[in-house]
Amino acid sequence: MPDLKLLEAEPTQAERDAIDAVAGVADPFSDRVARSRPRRHLLLPALRAAQRRVGWVTPGALGYASRRLEVPPADAYGVATFYALIALEERPAEVLHVCTDLSCKLAGAEVPPGAHPSPCLGLCERAPASMRTIAGPEPREEQIPPTSPLLPQTSGLKLLRRIAEGNDPESPPAEFAALERARELGPERVLELVKASPLLGRGGAAFPTGVKWEAVARQPAKPHYLVCNADESEPGTFKDRVLMEQDPFGLIESMAIAMYATGCEKGFVYVRAEYPLAHERLQHAIDVSGFDIELRIGAGAYVCGEETALFQSIEGYRGEPRNKPPFPVEVGLFGKPTVVNNVETLLNVPHILLEDDPRDTRLFCVSGNVARPGLYELELGTPLSELLELAGAEPPKAVLMGGAAGSFLRPDQLDLPLSFEGAREAGTTLGSGVVIVYGEDADLVDAVLRIAEFFRDESCGQCVPCRIGTVRQEEALHRLASGRTQGDEIAVLADLTQVMRDASICGLGQTAANAVDSAIHNLGVLA
């Protein structure tokens, strides 16, 4: 590392201590030894620690973190400014983040003076929702409202069964039966069973899990890593939060099985910053069970759910997606073969090994204009109408499937079977299992504008189609909504849809026009 000009401001003792708690106590000798092992991956944890101590990242804290971790100060600044929840300007210790996203909008969300508007907080079943961050010697985050009725559905459950039966999320099970079973079977047999199962990834892309696992297991390069993707930031999604809050031991066990089967040395679980209860319970479960799993926490960036952006984030870089190929199974976290799986995907694995329930189920996050919002679990292929009935929806005006990256359905399309093929035939996607119901009085124009704003806000900014395309998309929609049109908006939007889909680097840009396009062409909103 060359000599770096370092930010001259000094940190306060409190900031120093907070950063040292992450980076280790400063010691000139070990700091020099550490040069052979880069510690840049501790940058985001260090910035988070400093901010949680004093409420924002001061120049002194930024400089100290770069110094301790040997990250060029400009780079550290680039990373800090990437995340919506890292503040580089002075802020009070307590900050209220009010969700203004799709479901909370339907519930009449309003941002009081002094509060910050926020994208979906993953609390959509209790909309309108917010989060309070409280910095200080004992920092914490509060979800508001703090709780909601646990599960609206009580029968036919598979992944949610343990939760419905009232397991204690804070005490370990008597045994990890599925992990025991895996050890009896051996890694090869576990791989075979997962491959023979119909399990497809639940994070959105629906990739066969067994194929992914085998590809990593066969990689000669070592070590292998497992990353559990718990960034869950697709507006309307809250399933992984419920799983982590209520069944953290189940997730940790599932990760241990995946690591065993694919020869992973270490596992990471990357959870979005807005899930304090999940952090607490997962950390407890990790500590108690002793698996080599590390909890990493985001800082407000939807794009970090994209698997390669997630690696960048863990490694201490800006969460900018990498170009693929190479794919993570070959070149993943720290450049090593990596299994990335969604929380729900992993929680299917114990049932495959224990052969206790052959049904292929999916979790659905139902919110919006329904009597019983919450998390549902249905066998794949169940008609959407049945789910809407369970949740107590009046005949809706439209349903948004798959979240902001998904698409809108008309009232006459609600018979579609909830399966990958069924969704594809209807021109939509199950995505992350989002079902937002728009009742008779809902404002669909408002919803479309919010979706466009979301993508504009969350674009990482790396590639031209998405960085500028999402802005032009939002501008064209605003012209349509306000009636001050140029006359060619629909053609402009069609071109933007094509270039974002075809030429963006990652799934964010590639799907940024989906919901807007379906609102215009399927619902006739703003058409």
Ligand X SMILES: Cc1cc2nc3c(=O)[nH]c(=O)nc-3n(C[C@H](O)[C@H](O)[C@H](O)COP(=O)(O)O)c2cc1C
Binder of ligand SF4 out of 49, 54, 304, 505 (CB under 6 A)? 505
The answer to whether residue 463 forms part of the interface with ligand SF4 (CB under 6 A) is: yes
The answer to whether residue 207 forms part of the interface with ligand X (CB under 6 A) is: yes
Measured distance CA(329)–CA(487) in Å, rounded = 47
Nearer to ligand X, 338 or 369 (CB): 338
Contact set for ligand SF4, span 298-317 (CB under 6 A): 303
Tell which residue, 282, 285, 260, has the closest CA to residue 270.
282
Q: How far is the CB of 464 from ligand SF4 (least distance, A)?
A: 8
The answer to whether residue 38 forms part of the interface with ligand X (CB under 6 A) is: no
Edge to edge, what strands does the sheet with 398-401 contain? Answer: 374-379, 361-368, 434-438, 398-401, 407-409
20: exposed, middle or buried (Cβ count in 10 Å: 0-12, 13-18, 19+) = middle
Residues that bind other proteins (CB under 8 A): 2, 4-5, 7, 59, 62, 66, 72-78, 81-82, 84, 88, 301, 318, 323, 325, 456-465, 467-472, 475-476, 479, 486, 488, 492, 495-496, 498-499, 501-505, 510
Q: Name the region of 326 (left: φ>0; alpha: ψ -120 to 50; beta: rest).
A: beta
Q: How far is the CB of 494 from ligand FES (least distance, A)?
A: 23
Edge to edge, what strands does the sheet with 94-99 contain? Answer: 116-118, 94-99, 130-134, 140-144
The answer to whether residue 506 forms part of the interface with ligand SF4 (CB under 6 A) is: yes
The answer to whether residue 507 forms part of the interface with ligand X (CB under 6 A) is: yes
The answer to whether residue 370 forms part of the interface with ligand SF4 (CB under 6 A) is: no
Q: How far is the CB of 306 from other proteins (least distance, A)?
A: 14
The answer to whether residue 233 forms part of the interface with ligand X (CB under 6 A) is: yes
Q: How far is the CB of 359 from ligand FES (least distance, A)?
A: 28
Residues that bind ligand FES (CB under 6 A): 99, 101-104, 120-124, 127, 129, 235-236
138: exposed, middle or buried (Cβ count in 10 Å: 0-12, 13-18, 19+) = exposed
Nearer to ligand SF4, 422 or 469 (CB): 469
Measured distance CA(330)–CA(332) in Å, rounded = 6
Residue type, 363: L
Measured distance CA(440)–CA(276) in Å, rounded = 35
Q: How many residues bind ligand X (CB under 6 A)?
A: 22
The answer to whether residue 101 forms part of the interface with ligand X (CB under 6 A) is: no
Query: Per the structure block, which two tokens stand in for 393?
Result: 């929806």
Binder of ligand X out of 128, 305, 319, 431 (CB under 6 A)? 305
Q: Which does 233 bind (CB under 5 to 8 A by kind): other proteins, ligand SF4, ligand X, none?
A: ligand X
The answer to whether residue 402 forms part of the interface with ligand X (CB under 6 A) is: no
Measured distance CA(95)–CA(464) in Å, rounded = 33
**Residue 142: helix, strand or coil by DSSP?**
strand
Tell which residue, 260, 127, 281, has the closest CA to residue 186.
260
Nearer to ligand FES, 286 or 435 (CB): 435
Tell which residue, 66, 72, 24, 84, has the closest CA to residue 298.
84
Nearer to other proteins, 266 or 467 (CB): 467
Query: Per the structure block, which two tokens stand in for 436?
Result: 């937002």
Q: Name the region of 92 (left: φ>0; alpha: ψ -120 to 50; beta: rest).
A: beta
DSSP-assigned letter for residue 512: T
**Residue 145: helix, strand or coil by DSSP?**
coil
Q: How far is the CB of 466 from other proteins (least distance, A)?
A: 8
Q: How far is the CB of 458 from ligand SF4 (least distance, A)?
A: 7
Nearer to ligand X, 206 or 499 (CB): 206
Q: Which does 59 bind (CB under 5 to 8 A by kind): ligand FES, other proteins, ligand X, none?
A: other proteins
Edge to edge, what strands does the sheet with 264-271 contain? Answer: 293-297, 264-271, 224-230, 338-342
Q: Which does 460 bind (CB under 5 to 8 A by kind): ligand FES, ligand X, ligand SF4, none?
A: ligand SF4
Q: How far is the CB of 93 from ligand X (least distance, A)?
A: 29
Nearer to ligand FES, 102 or 437 (CB): 102
Binder of ligand SF4 out of 122, 210, 235, 321 (CB under 6 A)? 321
What are the distances in angstroms from CA 480 to CA 132, 152, 217, 475?
36, 39, 52, 9
The answer to whether residue 504 forms part of the interface with ligand SF4 (CB under 6 A) is: yes
Query: Per the structure block, which two tokens stand in for 23?
Result: 């980076």
Nearer to ligand FES, 106 or 252 (CB): 106
Residue ranges binding ligand X (CB under 6 A): 201-205, 207, 229, 231-233, 302-303, 305-307, 340-342, 345, 506-508
